[in-house]
Amino acid sequence: MTELSPAETEEQGFSGVPQHFGLIFAGLMTAMLLASLDQTIVSTALPTIVGELHGVNHMAWVTTAYILAATIAMPVYGRLGDLMGRKTLFLGAIVVFVAGSATAGMAQDMTVLIIGRAVQGLGGGGLMITAQAIIADLVPPRQRAKYMAPMGAVFGLSSVAGPLLGGWFTDGVGWRWAFWINLPLGALALAVAAFALRLPRRSVKVAVDYLGITLMAVAVTCTVLVADWGGTDYAWTDPLVLGLASGAVAAWALFLFSQSRAAEPIIPLRLFRSRIFNIATLLGMVVIGVGMFAVIGYMPTYLQMVYGKSATESGLLLIPMVVGIIATALPSGQLISRTGRYKIYPILGTAVAGVTVWLMSTLDTGSSIAVVCGYLFLLGAGVGLIMQNLVLAVQNAFPPSDVGTATSANNFFREIGATLGTAAVGAVFTHRLTDQLTSRLSAADAKVVGSTDSLTPALVHALPDKIQEAVILAYQQALTPVFRYMAPLFALGLVLAFLLPEKRLADGSGPGTDPVTPSAGDTGPDASEAAALRRK
């Protein structure tokens, strides 16, 4: 089926969900799951992959290539979707993602694998953004909350399921199936979208902002590499890290300047005139980008080192967080659809997440696994109240012509926040761990332990009891205080949540429209849109 013409769109009115929406939604969820899974699915398979392909020195790039490409692609897909329509872009993103998956699955060396992962990322970034924007095209704002909530739950599920699936494939049919599984599922999503998806067709001549895309790619690449390499592969004072940091600052400055001059900028500066966009984006960076990803990144290590759990067990112990996300995301979506109000949920979610992170800072070696799982559930419950509700608020703040752009920009900055936040937590954790091991181990004990860079859970729990206890205490004291350091960030997030303007979601006669009066302080593009609708 073809995309709808403007006349057909007006005739149908989109007063409710379109025909075949259940099938369309299943296809969108499948695409969202595949794209988000592939951010983490290789983490548990990496030791086997680099061993077979003889590329341990390039191991980090297997993950970094995907995240980097996906982050760069997000704003491009969002803006082009607004200008030229989303169906063709969505189908193209599926094809690119499947092609990258096939390349990675057939790789016989690390170079081809990394190229395949980068191509996957270019498609995956488009899938994540375009799927969310298509919901905005098809569903009026008030009903949209019911469908955005499951997408947020899928994103949370994939962050835990990815490592588990990667390990399962590696131990069973082989690590290549972590990529090959995307081929039949991607083909299914492609067939569903081609058959059932009908969207408004744009008639705008596209002027691609090539300069903006290039500057953004340079800025993101430098930022991600500083976060990944600084303090680990290279010292923070290393000329390479300093050069990358300088390049990031310069590229960001030039990028923002270019956006003020471009005919069709990738991230139009008018987005930042909306308080809803600014506050929701900052809140997502703080709570989701730093809070959730820091816990996902370092709790498995904590569980393995302190409790002696295996890699698979530590992954399974994160399931309570996913249960918490689902337990609050789905009901809050239903309630938002009934009331048209969303502001209370980010407030409650930030408060719950902030209190939980502080509680996690009180964990010690005597805390039971049940307590840890309880805290993970509470953190997930807080995140579930926030994640997709912020995207919904951003979408509702802009007219249909900017929905994809606003959605992609919000996700783009959240990804940047996740990268920087995880790197910052890792740097603090590593510094504290070194200090703790130095203070707790004598020179003789240190010789028994060997290089701290080579410590594994199996080695730690094979040490003599006295030394083992010292190392476990070092890990516990290195990580749990870091959670306490994060508490002020969540306090800032709570302030931002209270400051978030609320623009009530309307049933609307068309996707993305809201004829109600915007709340005080909301001076972005949405205000003029609402005023125009009232005059009509």
Determine contact, residues 319/380, Cβ cutoff 8 Å.
no
Other Cβ atoms within 10 Å of 522 Cβ, number: 20
Contact 383, 325 (CB under 8 A): yes
Question: Rounded to 5 degrees, what angle do the CA atoms 60, 436, 490 make?
Answer: 70
The pLDDT, as a whole number, for residue 26 is: 85
And the tokens for 337? 């659809």
pLDDT of residue 455: 62
Please give the Cα distance from 454 to 380 (Å, whole number): 32
CA–CA dist 343, 390 (Å, integer): 9
3-state helix, strand, coil in the chain (%, to 5): 75, 0, 25
Cβ atoms within 10 Å of 22's Cβ, excluding its own: 10
Phi, psi of 4 (to 5 degrees): -75, 140
Residue pointed to by tokens 């939604």: 25
| Count of CA atoms in the C-beta half-sphere (13 A) of 448 | 17
Residue 138, Cα to own-chain centre: how many angstroms?
A: 23
Tokens of 18: 């379109």
Q: What is the predicted pLDDT for the residue at 92?
A: 93
DSSP character at residue 173: T
Q: Where are the alpha helices (DSSP H) in 172-274?
A: 177-180, 182-196, 210-229, 239-259
Q: Are 1 and 199 in contact (CB under 8 A)?
A: no
pLDDT attached to residue 14: 40
Q: 179 by DSSP, 3-state: which?
A: helix
Which three-class secondary structure state does DSSP give residue 513? coil
DSSP 448-478: HH--GGG--HHHHTTS-HHHHHHHHHHHHHH
Mean pLDDT per 10-residue segment, the chain (536 residues): 40 50 84 84 76 74 85 90 86 94 91 93 91 84 80 78 80 86 90 80 71 92 85 82 93 93 89 92 84 73 80 80 89 87 92 91 88 92 87 86 87 83 76 80 71 65 78 82 85 92 69 37 41 38
The closest of 391, 316, 385, 317 to 355, measured between CA atoms, is 385
How far, CA to CA in Å, does 142 sit from each of 302, 328, 475, 511, 514? 41, 18, 47, 10, 9
With tokens 């993602």, the residue in question is 97
Q: Where does residue 20 fall: left (phi above 0), alpha (psi -120 to 50 degrees), or beta otherwise?
A: left
Collapse the DSSP code of 198 into the 3-class scheme (helix H, G, I; strand E, B; otherwise coil) and give the result.
Answer: coil
- CA separation for the pair 261, 438 (Å, rounded): 54
Compute the mean pLDDT over every residue in the chain, rounded to the nearest whole number.
Answer: 80
pTM: 0.79
pLDDT, residue 518, reads 38
d(CA 3, CA 6): 10
| Distance, CA of 70 to chain centre | 10
Contact by Cβ (8 Å): 83, 204: yes
First to last CA, the chain: 33
Q: Which of 421, 433, 428, 308 is nearest to 369 (CA)?
A: 308
Model pLDDT, residue 15? 43
Q: How many residues does this entry show for the chain? A: 536
- What distances in angstroms separate CA 522 from CA 49, 270, 404, 529, one per listed residue? 50, 13, 19, 12
